[in-house]
Amino acid sequence: MTLLVKVGLFAGTVLTTSPVLSSLPGLVSRANAADLDALEEQIANIQAQQRALQKALASVQQQIAAHRAAVGGHHVAGHGASGTAAHHTGLQGISGVADTTDGIGLATPEPAVSHHRYAAGPDAQPVFSGARDVPEVESVIGHRAEDVISRLAENNVGPHSRESVGAQAAGALGDHGVFHMGPVTLILGGFLDASAVEENRHTATGTFNYWQDIPFKNQSRYHTDNFEGSARYSRLSLMARGNVDAHSTISGFFEMDFGAGAATTDAYESNSYSVRMRQAYLAYDNSQYNFHFLAGQAWSMLTPGRIGITPRQESLPETIESSMLAGQTWARQLQFRFVKDFLNHRLWTGLSIENSATLYNLSSFDKGGSGSACNSTSSLPDGQVYMPNCNVATVGYDGTGLTNPALFSNEIAPDVIGKIAWDPHWGHYEVEGILHFPHDRVTTPGVGGHNNTAIAGGGGGSMILPVIPHKVEVRLSGLAGYGIGRYGSVLLPDATLNASGAPSPLLSVQTTGGIVAHPTPLIDVYGFFGYQSSGRSYFSSNGSNYGYGNPGYDNRGCYIEMSSLGCTADIHSVMEATMGAWYRFFKGKYGTVQGGLQLAYSRVNAWSGNGGAPNTSLSEIFMDFRYLPFQ
């Protein structure tokens, strides 16, 4: 009853005041010098009434919030986001909150507290304080599309507008999957995925291409087709976000899928693939100082972006193929990222300290055991090899405890990555650089040894050209340097060993280009080309060949099925050309259902050796059905 009385008094006050407000322009037009004092007194009275009305509005909204909390704290079924937005707009119109002009001395009114979600998402983010968490008068407006309080500059490229294909948006769009728990907003994201591939070689990797495993003609599986399908790349994400104060927000993001293959995975019956962590990080954004911080596992800052240097806005190909594209620059790894933006959010600078993991190629070196030239009676553990002089080079050790039993390389320092991004009114442009420090130890058995550290790294950049803004865009990116092969989708090696056993970083070049079009809101069409190559580093000793890409390696058997001759075939380059499309069958409050089709052709070229430079290829047709309940 008290609530209804206050609402009635509030409405009555507004109605009795409205004649005065409506007559104000006429009074001003008829004013003369003698009436100015009277007009100023009337303006002061109106301002006082306006402040009183604003406080009354805040009190009414607080009581509405308390009443809703008492009956469950949520909107009743059938009260949609659009109705909420309309109700909120109506209250603003009554209170005059929308009028912020001060041309004739009217004071800018205090902003009202809002507990409503707009149709565009959970924009209203009240600040809470006090023992009972009572909302203050001021509210903080968060922009859900990019999940930073500070706005992003308009570059006619824009952030990802949906999670349908690239799956890089923060989570839900609109109010789908958005929940409020006091001052914290929870946003669900992800999709259910059913994808399959038909290919003319048997690679046993599903929709994830591992180009180094594409067979040459000497293997029987080169001559057999293969079909494989799975739902293992279905994805789920959760973001929690809250406002620290009027200028800053804190958020946490977690994303997972089922892309890991457990030791007990049964591809013949249960197809029980394992949950794996894709991303897990916290982010802090401050709009007063235009400062942004990220800590945790996320896409490497080397990954091309769409706007600014912001998480979940990576520029990745819209492919069904879960390995994305040969030549694509990326990694997901631990990092501590510091970003500052300038010039109204158009110029961005970033520094990221990221986990290092050198990928070595040691296949040509002696592992000991039977036939070893170093008279070893047992094989060396993973991460250790004999050099021609029988010294032992150690580049890493197999994981133990809770880590995967695979090789973890020696690392003396993290990777250091810097990036500058520029968002003019047309396009997005980036330049970047990386420093990497491969590290190993060479030991003379029974005597001692010494450590070796190499300095590697490189640079590159990317751009997005909005040929027709938000309809057709051209994407270009590239990275080149030494010891950075693992940052490409092909996973070519970072380094091998030189004659003394020290790391020898390999030259790496990777580049991608593509066109993405959105002819209608229901259709996306794309075409991409990618290329990645590795340099060679080798030596010969005592009649044996070592290193990567050695021209003395035996390649004579690469074209003969089940040949007894050799086929070392160190990869020189991989290229991929692909095209595809997505079509949205259904889209509404229930989410989006879409299907995709993709054609891809890959070609692998090996370094020349004894018997020539062999090559192989792979042709694929990808198919996908995907349900995005939060889009």
Q: Measured between alpha carbons, how far is 211 from 534 in angstroms, rounded to an integer?
A: 13
Q: Measured between alpha carbons, how far is 230 from 207 in angstroms, rounded to an integer?
A: 8
> Domain check: are 205 and 103 in the same one?
no
How much is the pTM? Answer: 0.77
What pLDDT does residue 146 have? 37
> Is there a contact between 508 and 483 (Cβ–Cβ < 8 Å)?
yes
User: Where is the domain boundary, 47, 79, 107?
Assistant: 107
- Domain assignment of residue 52, yes or no: yes
What pLDDT does residue 199 have? 97
Q: Measured between alpha carbons, how far is 84 from 3 in angstroms, rounded to an integer?
A: 19
What pLDDT does residue 370 have? 81
What pLDDT does residue 149 have? 44
Number of domains in the chain: 2
> Domain check: are 193 and 98 in the same one?
no
What domain range includes position 59?
Answer: 1-107
Q: Measured between alpha carbons, how far is 437 from 495 in angstroms, rounded to an integer?
A: 11
Amino acid present at 383: G
Neighbours of 486 (CB within 10 A): 18
Helices 2-29 and 81-95 pack at an angle, to 10 degrees, of: 50
> Domain check: are 87 and 223 in the same one?
no
The CA distances from residue 26 to 38, 39, 626, in Å, are 14, 11, 61
User: Where is the domain boundary, 107, 129, 145?
Assistant: 107
Q: Per-block average pLDDT, block size 10, for the chain (631 residues)?
A: 46 46 46 62 76 74 66 42 37 35 35 36 37 35 39 80 38 60 85 96 93 95 96 92 86 92 84 92 92 96 94 92 96 98 95 97 92 84 95 94 88 98 97 98 95 98 96 97 97 97 98 96 95 97 95 96 94 98 91 95 97 97 93 77
> Is there a contact between 304 and 329 (Cβ–Cβ < 8 Å)?
yes
The three state secondary structure string of 441-494 is: EEEECCCEEEEEECCEEEEEEEEEEEEECCCEEEEEEEEEEECCHHHECCCCCC
What pLDDT does residue 551 have? 97
> Domain check: are 318 and 225 in the same one?
yes
What pLDDT does residue 68 have? 64
Three-state DSSP class for residue 426: coil
- Domain assignment of residue 609, yes or no: yes
Report the b/e string of 161-198 with b at 16+ CB within 10 A: ebbbbbbbbbbbbbbbbbebeebbbbbbbbbebebbbe
* Phi, psi for residue 485 in degrees, rounded to 5: -60, -30
Take residue 4 and report the two structure tokens written for it: 């209804």
Neighbours of 447 (CB within 10 A): 7
Helices 36-70 and 2-29 pack at an angle, to 10 degrees, of: 160
- Domain assignment of residue 144, yes or no: no
Q: Which domain CATH number covers 547?
A: 2.40.160
User: Where is the domain boundary, 107, 139, 166?
Assistant: 107
> Domain check: are 102 and 188 in the same one?
no
